[in-house]
Amino acid sequence: MAARGARRRGPVGVIDIGSNSIRLVVYDGLTRAPVPLLNEKVLCGMGRGLGETGTLDPEGVASALAHLARFVSLARAIGVERLDALATAAVRDASDGKAFALEVRRRTGVPVRILSGEEEGRLSALGVIAGMPEAAGVMGDLGGGSVELSPLRAGRTGHGATLPLGPFRLAEFWGDEKRLAAEIDRHVESLDWLRRRRGETFYAVGGAWRALARIHMEQDRYPIHVVQGYTLSRRTAEDFLDVMARQSRRSLEQIATVARKRLEVVPVAAEVLRRIMAAMEPKRVVFSALGLREGHLYDLLPDRERTQDPLLVACESMARAHPRFGANPQEVDTWLSPIYPRRDPYRRLRRAAALLADVAWDEHPDYRAEQASRSALYMPATGLDHPGRVFLAAALRARYGGNDEGSFDKMARIVDEENLRAARVTGLGMRLAFTLSGGVPGLLRRAELRLSRDELLLRLPASGPLQGAEAVERRLGALARALGVEARLRERVRR
């Protein structure tokens, strides 16, 4: 569990100046699990035509300067304690890129850090690690002007490569499938280390690739519209990209809910990913909503905070934001530990569920189960894959007494029955704990829960606040049935 006090005071902001878009994100603090307070983007297209002219697009520059002035003013009005502006491929490669950066500073007072290709790739890879600490394979970040590739292993990044394969750099090849594929292959095939990563996971970062993920979700009627952690098998990804690379803008407008300015680069983005996959042959493609900006913040953290679990940090923050009696989640988790297996594959998720166990106490009683379940399913936390989201949603639904019959039928493609059963046991256990103690800290230590091969035993003191709760027997019985054993209640425990 994250140490209290890890949160920095005051929001921090990052402005990402890319080849296609400019985005301001203001986070609640410099922490292991920063929460976006404001996220605003504009598609300026400064990198349009860069391959032919060698300079930034004049209209894009005018739009960028105007919006950057607004972004800086907005961030200062919010009261950010730190505001960093990072520029990537277009500004880096354009002959007038440094002049643009100086003009931004002159107008706003904010210096622009022009990232090298290596720096950009490293920070984007750190963004993936920030959200998926166990990530291993290859990270690819597609921007308007370039694609950065970086190997990942055990929370570390390796020496990667920057290739001039952004959609704007490939504009002259649009509409000519053979020439486009040949140009992409010419660069990708020069990376011997990429071919040596065959069979590993490819992590896709960048707005155009996220747009592809959203389109696939929409077409596949996927039940969780969360890009972070969205996963496609190699075969599924190849078939989908093969179709997307051949779509016209008109056809995309009919099937996708993606920004119109983004649609024009989607077919090229699909072809770039398809050709990278042809060289690497990954086992799967995992989409990351976190990239350069989050990697930059992660890079600023001290080592001791980088090692914190982002999911548990986020859940603890949510719990602190919804206090009631100050219930101790660790107390609940420890009290329930006898009902869990010694080698518990769901241990981390159960800890997260315990942190969230009382977050819906102030919701309307008739909707607590639904609200808590939806909050867990869609919460903006990282360190959590889609099966993990379903686990937490099912656990919290059971914790608040929701009838889960049919509630997770659509999730069958994401989790199996064993996952849902484990989640239900977790939720029913928390429901018993809170019914017994009322959420008051310290009371659970007076009771004892034990699980044997055929019995779930609850021992209570002969007198005191834990006695006389009619609902306790019902909660105990429900938990016992979920565990497949008989329930038993005993008194006269010495405390």
On whether the CB atoms of residues 441 and 326 are closer than 8 A, the answer is yes
Residue 5: CB atoms within 10 A of its CB come to 6
Per-residue pLDDT at 6: 40
Instruction: Please name the residues in contact with 107: beta carbons below 8 A apart, sequence gap of 6 or more.
Output: 65, 68, 69
Any domain includes 388 = yes
Distance, CA of 292 to CA of 296 (rounded, Å):
6
Q: Terminus-to-terminus CA distance in the chain, angstroms? A: 28
CATH code (residue 469): 1.10.3210.10
Looking at the structure, do residues 104 and 126 belong to the same domain, yes or no? no
Per-residue pLDDT at 404: 67
DSSP string covering 380-441, please? --SS--HHHHHHHHHHHHHHTT---TTTTGGGGGT--HHHHHHHHHHHHHHHHHHHHHTT-T
Looking at the structure, do residues 228 and 357 belong to the same domain, yes or no? no
Looking at the structure, do residues 216 and 135 belong to the same domain, yes or no? yes
DSSP state of 3: P
Provide the residue-wise pLDDT of the chain in tens; the chain has 495 residues: 333 334 456 899 999 999 989 999 999 999 999 999 999 999 999 999 988 899 999 999 999 999 999 999 999 999 999 999 999 999 999 999 999 999 999 999 999 999 999 999 999 999 999 999 999 999 999 998 899 999 999 888 989 999 999 998 898 888 888 999 999 999 999 999 999 999 999 999 999 999 999 999 999 999 999 999 999 999 999 999 999 998 887 788 777 667 776 778 899 999 999 999 999 999 999 999 999 999 999 999 999 999 999 999 999 988 888 778 776 888 999 999 999 999 999 999 999 999 999 989 989 999 999 999 999 999 989 999 999 999 999 999 999 998 766 678 889 889 999 999 999 999 999 999 999 988 888 899 989 999 999 999 999 887 777 766 688 999 999 999 999 999 999 875 454
Distance, CA of 467 to CA of 479 (rounded, Å):
19
Looking at the structure, do residues 139 and 105 belong to the same domain, yes or no? no
Number of domains in the chain: 3
Distance, CA of 46 to CA of 35 (rounded, Å):
29
Any domain includes 300 = no
CATH code (residue 275): 3.30.420.150
Per-residue pLDDT at 3: 35
Per-residue pLDDT at 1: 31
CATH code (residue 27): 3.30.420.40
Among the candidates 75, 96, 114, a domain finishes at: 114
Q: Residue 125, exposed/middle/buried by CB under 10 A (0-12, 13-18, 19+)?
A: buried
Among the candidates 114, 142, 168, a domain finishes at: 114
Return the structure tokens found at 7.
């949160």
**HSE of 228 in the Cβ direction (CA atoms, 13 Å)?**
22
Between β-strands 161-163 and 231-233, what pairing exists: parallel, antiparallel or unpaired? unpaired
Among the candidates 266, 293, 320, a domain finishes at: 293
Looking at the structure, do residues 415 and 267 belong to the same domain, yes or no? no
Any domain includes 45 = yes
**HSE of 54 in the Cβ direction (CA atoms, 13 Å)?**
1
On whether the CB atoms of residues 13 and 27 are closer than 8 A, the answer is yes
Any domain includes 1 = no
Distance, CA of 225 to CA of 263 (rounded, Å):
19
Looking at the structure, do residues 284 and 243 belong to the same domain, yes or no? yes
Return the structure tokens found at 396.
């919290």
Any domain includes 302 = no
Domain extent at residue 414 = 310-490
Looking at the structure, do residues 246 and 108 belong to the same domain, yes or no? no
Looking at the structure, do residues 241 and 156 belong to the same domain, yes or no? yes
Any domain includes 98 = yes
Looking at the structure, do residues 208 and 67 belong to the same domain, yes or no? no
Residue count of the chain, please give it: 495
On whether the CB atoms of residues 318 and 7 are closer than 8 A, the answer is no
Q: How far is CA 113 from CA 117, 207, 331, in A?
A: 12, 21, 46
Looking at the structure, do residues 159 and 46 belong to the same domain, yes or no? no
- DSSP-based three-state secondary structure for 286: strand
Any domain includes 5 = no
List of long-range contacts for 443-451, beta carbons under 8 Å, 24+ apart: 444/331, 444/332, 444/335, 445/331, 445/335, 445/495, 446/493, 446/495, 447/335, 447/493, 448/493, 449/335, 449/336, 449/338, 449/339, 450/338, 451/338, 451/339, 451/483, 451/485
Q: How far is CA 234 from CA 13, 185, 272, 276, 396, in A?
A: 36, 19, 15, 12, 33
Looking at the structure, do residues 132 and 110 belong to the same domain, yes or no? no
Distance, CA of 231 to CA of 282 (rounded, Å):
12
Looking at the structure, do residues 123 and 268 belong to the same domain, yes or no? yes
Per-residue pLDDT at 352: 97
Any domain includes 2 = no
**Over the Cα atoms of the chain, what is R_g?**
26
